[in-house]
Amino acid sequence: MFDKDCLEKIGTGMIGLGVVGAGAVGLPVLPGLLETGVAALGLGMTLRDKQAKSTDAILKGITAEIAREAKAWDSETRSEGRDPGAVRDALASVQEVMPACLPTPEQVAPLWGKSEAVADLMLQTAQQPRFANRFTDTPGAPKDLARALFRRAALRGFSHLWTVPEFREAHAAEMRAVLLDDTAALKARLDEAQAEISNLLMRMDSKLDEVLGLLRAQKGDTATVNAFLVQEIEKARAAHDGDLAVVANLLKVLLNESVAPQNFADAIARAEAQAEALIEASSAIPNDETPELRDLRFAANEALRQRDFDEAERLRRAIRTQRRRENRRTEAADIGAIAEVQKAALRYRAAATTYAEAAATVEEADVEERWKWLLQENRSLYLLGLEFGDNAALLEAAEKADAMTRAFPCDDHPQRWAMAMGNKALALQELGEREQNAALLDEAIAAYRALLLAFDNLDDRQNWVVTQNNLGNALSVLGERENCTARFEEAVATYRTALEECPRERVPLEWAMTQNNLGAALVRIGERERDTAHLEEAVATFRSALEEHSRERVRLEWATTQNNLGNALRSLGERESGTVRFEEAVAAYRSAQEERTRERVPFYWAQTQANMAILYMTMAERTGKKADAARAVTHATDALAVYRDSGADFHIDQCEALLADCQTLQTRLLAKEGKA
């Protein structure tokens, strides 16, 4: 049987032979050889360092150890002035959850002696959804106390157990059996590797023979040439520890037609000296060196050490290309900085043009940099359309995003493709909402459904939730176009599915966004029913969302939720007597317009103006107040002006009809006053 020292030496030697030897002569690294070397080295280290493996019975014994540490922790936290009740709750949580979080022997085996790694593994298990009521990532007693206690108790418990002889020795026999099995498997791998090692050495010899053949053909296969070659080969082998790869590379220098046989020794000596000088000259680390340039420099120096001048030249050319690329990146970054200023000043059209210039500056092959600037260009166009009602900009954003999905196909760039497809869908949805074009909404919905599949494959739950929300929004807009309750019900189901993946405790802002969207869909359903259950649920949903969508954290989102709350209150007020709900709706709309200003987001401002026109018209019909009718006319007129500026056909038609109704009501109330 191999002992630990023998195994470590075998492993180290095989790894060195596989990487240095094969790589030096330009041959591919042999994966099987390297894997065997790593296995040998790893098993040697296992024999040296790992003493035992635990079983389920031993692991369960840690519960008592954890309880002891928990009591000590309880005393410490009390002395620090913590709330005793919070501490008791934390202890109860840990004692309840800990037994279900103990790792298996298979999990512990590779972590032997690593207490922190085992503790983190256990805490990861404890933070699964089934324990959500006990552990959370959101700070707040007692849950944060429970997490801290859990990790500390597990850490201290395992730190102690590693030192317990009974724990270490309980399964020594099992450990020996495992090692015997591993050693047998390793021996089989070593036997298999013998052929690979022999083949590698033969290829090294073949490389040298190839160079010698070329030299003899070029210089003449004479006794003088052969004598010089034998002499230089022996000198090179002695200078480079018998490395045939270096010898072969050095002899390639002699293939230069101007090198005569009598100058072989001088040519090799000069090549050796110049290689060392180049290595020394390029060993200093430049102040502005990027990781990419550093890696290329290291690789070029290694090629010089192997006297592989052809590879060194190739890498030096790669350094030149990389430096030129980085210079272009610097220029693009300077251009992008200008665009950032333009975007900050809300000059989105100028910013988009400047970002496009930055994208054109970088090399076509510099995918990451080109993507970054194209994405910013697309984002600027979308914001121009979203905030300033520029439908042409939205269409351009959709077209450019579509071009990006083709330039970065899903198979090669799944994350980039998904982001571009999402941007395309958002632009189409916004444009479809403004225009009487259901086909745009259908296209956006199809894009969202494709995205959901992509994010499922990528296991990207965060973007999956965002896409679920966007899909629900598109379904709601289509429900408005088709006057179809089924679409709203589908949207509600979509939002509820999204909420299952974004709990409030873990992602409060995403949760609030989804609550807001859910509430908006519930309002649309409630408006089509006599029963007020959906409207009441919508009001409660919006108010819950506002607890996280505070004005201080997300100003525009807060304003949007206030606007939607106003819609729900207005619809409830239409079903109730009195004006209490209407007054609450007025307050919500006015709050929304504190952030939804005409200067900042004119299209959203117009939406709230139209909502207020509907509200005041309803109030005027109920109370007969001319002032409310006049307010309705003013709000509808202002909203229509913005819609006409933006070319939002669907909203223009709706607002023109609304304004006509408001003016008719105002005329009727004035006529009624005249008759009185």
Among 23-37, 92-106, 435-449, name the one with the lowest average pLDDT: 23-37
Share of the chain above pLDDT 90, in %: 37
DSSP E strands: which ranges in 485-603?
none
At residue 670, what is the residue type?
Answer: L
C-alpha span between 345 and 383 (Å, rounded): 12
What average pLDDT does the chain have? Answer: 78
State the Cα–Cα distance between residues 69 and 150, nearest whole angstrom: 10
* Contacts with 362 (C-beta within 8 Å, 6 or more apart), sequence order: 325, 328, 329, 332, 369, 370, 373
* pLDDT computed for residue 168 by the predictor: 56
Instruction: Name the one residue in this structure whose structure tokens are 């959850």.
Output: 97
Which pLDDT band holds residue 161 (cuts at 50, 70, 90)? low
**CB of 320 closer than 8 Å to CB of 342:** no
pLDDT at 363 over 90: no
What is residue 162's predicted lDDT score, i.e. its pLDDT?
Answer: 60
- Report how far apart the first and last C-alpha atoms of the chain are (Å, whole number): 115
**CB-CB neighbours of 676 under 10 Å:** 5
CA 564 and chain centroid, separation: 31
pLDDT in tens, 2-49: 444 444 444 444 444 433 333 333 333 333 434 444 444 444 444 333
pTM of the model: 0.51
Confidence of residue 54 (pLDDT cuts 50, 70, 90): very low
Could you read off the pLDDT of 538-554 as tens digits, one per residue?
Answer: 999 999 999 998 999 99
Question: What's the pLDDT band for 137 if we cut at 50, 70, 90?
Answer: very low
Residue recorded with tokens 């200023």: 341
Amino acid identity, residue 227?
Answer: A
| Cα-only R_g, the chain | 37
Q: DSSP characters for 101-116?
A: GPPPHHHHGGGTT-HH
Structural contact between residues 420 and 408, judged by C-beta atoms closer than 8 angstroms: yes
The 10s digit of each residue's pLDDT in 312-358 is 889 888 888 888 888 888 888 899 989 998 888 888 999 999 999 99
